[in-house]
Amino acid sequence: MGTSENASFGNPFRRLDAGEREKLSGLVSHTYGLFIDTVARGRDMDKEAVDVVAQGRVWTGRQASGSWTGGQAWEGFRTP
């Protein structure tokens, strides 16, 4: 029982229902879009070029700097 329709959204003790999964997927997609927009604007790059490298992956700084992602594909993302 909750105080509103979404009161138990994200409760780790139960599975998400279809509507909650759809809502969560939309939030993740929206946040990823904001990330792509922000990086593209900040690095003066096309959003498509940022997405080709990012593809929704997450790296630690060490992983990015020690792999192809840091040495080649992300070369244009380095700050002065």
| pLDDT tens readout for residues 10-22 | 888 989 899 999 9
| pLDDT tens readout for residues 22-55 | 999 999 999 999 988 988 888 888 999 888 888 8
Is 76 a residue whose pLDDT tops 60? Answer: no
Q: With H, G, I as helix, E, B as strand and everything else as coil, classify residue 25.
A: helix
Residues 66, 77, 73, 49, Cα dihedral to 10°: 150
**pLDDT confidence of 71, banded at 50, 70, 90?**
very low
- The least confident of 3-7, 16-20, 46-50, 57-61 is 57-61
* CB distance 39 to 21 below 8 Å: no
